[in-house]
Amino acid sequence: MKRKQGVERALITGGAGFIGSHLAERLLEDGYEVTIIDDLSTGSMQNIEHLRVHHRFSFAIETILNLTVMDRLISECDIVFHFAAAVGVRLIVENPVGTIETNVLGTEIVLKIANRYRKKVILPSTSEIYGKGNSIPFSEESDRVLGSMTKSRWSYSSSKAVDEFLTLAYHSMYKLPVVIIRLFNTIGPRQTGSYGMVVPRFIKQALRGEPITVYADGKQSRCFADVKDVVDAIVKLANCPEANGQIFNVGKDEEITIENLARKIKHKIESSSEICYISYEKAYVLGFEDMRRRVPDLTKIRKFIDYKPQISLDQSLMDIIKDMRKNMANGRDKK
């Protein structure tokens, strides 16, 4: 995308993470100055080391809860892409306090400072917002259906809902320019399986010849979008004035069951791994709840930016397999 007059300056919180690092790469290609802030709690220097030589790139190892640092960084940018968040089912189950504090307090800080300096905020949210709802496909106006408060599984959905409400409140009360993006399953190189992401976990297991562990009966389905298509949508929405104050689903609407995903990965790698089925209780905690289907309604985003994902699931998987093989060969697959 061609830049307008001058060079726009973007701040990406959590920019050393999976999607944030790909976004940084894209924005640099588009001519932005890019600053990343990340405390590396879930992000990795490995994700951005190829960017650090770029003259329009800078990086701060710091928490977004540091008000002094955040005030300076936001005052110096034109737009904030707020990707810093606790993500991943395993991390959410194991650290619900950190999930809530990072997501809610961090977003409050970003919005308050962005409003002080009148900077646009792009807030990535999540398909977890829809909870256990069964009104498939989920539209941005779909009702939310969650489980009991005693299930930590739903703390992430609830924390991101607070983020969305707060973001929309800043837009309503103060006319702060904001866009909320509900991300469905996003995959690509640099994603780690350490926090519950299924594709990198399956691929690593298959490459190592370990059992590919499918949870429950494997009949639950998901839709997987390539990170390059997702980042393209994020950039286009950020540059779409009509998108201000709006919520958008971003992802793909082509479903695959998790057991068929495991079979596909096993076949592509020509792996000797067995596909094993284990209970959610064994994988996570007693009483863990999941949703059977998660499919986005993409009508709205197609209307605003003519959204058309270009990369097939097969191509995404091959790109991830190639990247993971390289990392394993170099001893860089610790996560």
* DSSP output for 178-227: EEEEEE--EE-TT--STTS-HHHHHHHHHHHT--EEEETTS--EEE-EEH
Q: Higher-confidence residue: 328 or 57?
A: 57
Out of 43-47, 126-130, 235-239, 287-291, which region has the weakest mean confidence (pLDDT)?
Answer: 287-291
pLDDT given at position 3: 44
Average pLDDT, the chain: 92
β-strand 79-82 against 9-13: which pairing, if any? parallel
User: Average of pLDDT values for 193-218?
Assistant: 92
| Percent of the chain clearing pLDDT 90 (strictly above) | 77
Cβ atoms within 10 Å of 301's Cβ, excluding its own: 26
Q: Centre a 10 Å sphere on the Cβ of residue 98 and count the other Cβ atoms it contains.
A: 14
* DSSP H helices in the chain: 18-29, 67-75, 89-94, 96-100, 106-117, 155-174, 198-208, 227-238, 258-269, 280-283, 299-305, 313-329
Rounded to two decimals, what is the model's pTM? Answer: 0.93
- In order of start, what are the domains of the chain with their CATH numbers? 9-187+226-252+295-310 (3.40.50.720)
Residue 251 CA to residue 262 CA, distance in Å, equals 20
Least confident range from 7-21, 49-63, 147-161: namely 147-161
Reference 146, options 166, 160, 129; nearest CA is: 129
C-alpha dihedral sign at 161, 98, 16, 74: positive
* Confidence grade of residue 25 (pLDDT, cut at 50, 70, 90): very high
Q: What is the pLDDT of residues 268-283, one digit of tens each?
A: 999 999 999 998 878 7
Residues recognised as catalytic: 156
End-to-end Cα distance, the chain: 33
Q: Could you tell me the pLDDT band of residue 48, with boundaries at 50, 70 and 90?
A: very high
pLDDT for res 1: 40
**Model confidence band, residue 212 (pLDDT cutoffs 50, 70, 90):** very high
Read off the amino acid at residue 171: H
- Reported as a pLDDT band with limits 50, 70 and 90, residue 2 is very low
Output phi, psi for 77, to 5 deg.
-110, 175
In this predicted structure, what is the pLDDT of residue 100? 77
Q: Report the C-alpha gap between 78 and 73 in whole angstroms.
A: 10
Q: How far, CA to CA in Å, does 291 sit from each of 140, 144, 161, 256?
A: 18, 12, 18, 14
